[in-house]
Amino acid sequence: MRRVPLIAAGIAIAGGLGLAFALPAGAVVGQASPPVAAVQVQSPGVLQARGAAVAVPVLVVCSPGDTGFLSLSLTQRVGSDIASGSGFTQFSCTGSLQIVDVTVTANGKAFRKGTANAHAELTVCDFTCSTATDTRTIEITNKG
């Protein structure tokens, strides 16, 4: 089981509180409010199929009942070349912090152990859509 960093939990809670205080009060706020979306790429990613792909955990939070669309791209220097790839998944939002694993498939050059640049984009939709992004350096390992 992965441990969610306290910083991520604090950010999500603070963001939720900030959003709650920023929105107008009233019975129809839920119907008129944009969906809540927050995303943070986690480390490490785990090599799959000898570097043909990397499974990357991503921490997300979004409004319960909404549908989340999560895309992730990785770029890594491998010798004098660049390994890169992307992955996508769709999931149901719970309203709580949740880990969504995204499998990133290499486009040509295989990934290897080491560091990589990860960029995640979360789009959450009900009647309207909201987007959140996160870019950071992660470790890629052989095991999770």
Total number of domains constituting the chain: 1
Asked whether residue 133 is assigned to any structural domain, the reply reads yes
CB 70 within 8 A of CB 132: no
- CATH number for the domain spanning 82: value is 2.60.40
- pLDDT by residue for the chain (144 residues), tens digit each? 455 554 454 455 445 544 444 444 444 444 556 678 999 999 999 999 999 999 999 999 999 989 999 999 999 999 999 999 999 999 999 999 999 999 999 999 999 999 999 999 999 988 888 999 999 999 999 986
In-domain check, residue 75 = yes
Residue 51 lies in a domain: yes
* pLDDT score for 144: 62
DSSP H helices in the chain: 6-22, 29-32
Q: Are strands 129-141 and 37-41 parallel, antiparallel or unpaired?
A: unpaired
pLDDT at 79: 93
User: Does residue 1 lie in a domain region?
Assistant: no
User: Which residues form the domain of 88?
Assistant: 6-141
Position 111 scores a pLDDT of: 98
